[in-house]
Structure 1
Amino acid sequence: MSFQAYLDAVETKTGKTPRELLDEARAKGFDAPAVKATVIVEWLRDDYGLGRGHAMAMVHVIKKGPQISGKHVGRAGSHGDASDVLWLDGKASRPA
């Protein structure tokens, strides 16, 4: 599954775009450097029912932003992403 596909699944599971969850995490102070991934994973599990893989995709966005490694960009297959910048504003609004 591509990184973007994980975020799309997060939106499907939670009903919130990754941007909305990011804003919520920032309001809780989860983007602070001292906050561990475990705290964020537990919040997403308890409040939204997310599993570890989907929660860890959000941890990356919360702690590091939407930029990802170009390692899989443009590669064919299920792990390939179209861009090294993740779209956070919802599946329906993503440019083609």
Structure 2
Amino acid sequence: MSFQAYLDNIQKKTGKTADDFKKLADAKGFSDKGVLKPAVKATQVTNWLKEEFELGHGHAMAVYALLKGIKEEGSK
């Protein structure tokens, strides 16, 4: 499955786009302007996404990768 397919599935499940998650992460204090703060660990982000949006681990890690800058929308 491509990275973009993960993001598409997340949007179908939650109604939230990648930009929405960047804004939500900013509001939670995990990121600044959609970029994850250095002190924030993957577990903090994935636990939040699992609890609040009922995402599985793989999908939560996709959002983490987006915030961390490891992957971008449209990536394979």
Q: Distance between the aligned counterparts of 1:20 and 1:86, measured in 2?
A: 13
Partner amino acid, structure 1, of 2:21: L
Scaled by the length of structure 2, what TM-score is found? 0.82
Contact 2:18 2:73 in 1 (8 A): no
Matched with 1:52 is: 57
Q: Equivalent residue of 2:73, what SS?
A: coil
2 CA distance for matches of 1:40 and 1:27? 13
Q: Superposition RMSD on alpha carbons, in Å?
A: 1.4
Once residues 55 and 11 of structure 2 are traced to their aligned partners in structure 1, the CA distance between those partners, rounded to angstroms, is 10
Deviation of 1:63 after TM superposition, in Å, equals: 1.4
Task: Write 1 or 2 for the structure with the bigger share of strand.
Answer: 2
Structure 1's consecutive aligned runs of 4 or more residues displaced over 2 angstroms after TM superposition are none
Aligned match of 1:61: 66
Q: Helix, strand or coil: the match of 1:35?
A: coil
Task: Report the alpha carbon displacement of residue 35 of structure 1 after superposing the two structures with TM.
Answer: 0.5
User: Any residues of structure 2 matched to 1:1-96 within 5 Å, and which?
Assistant: 1-30=1-30, 31-64=36-69, 68=71, 85-87=72-74
Q: What residue ranges of structure 2 are gaps of 5+ in the alignment?
A: 31-35
Over alpha carbons, which structure has the higher Rg? 1
**Structure with the larger helix share:** 2
What is the total number of aligned residue pairs between the two structures?
A: 69
% identity of equivalent residues: 49
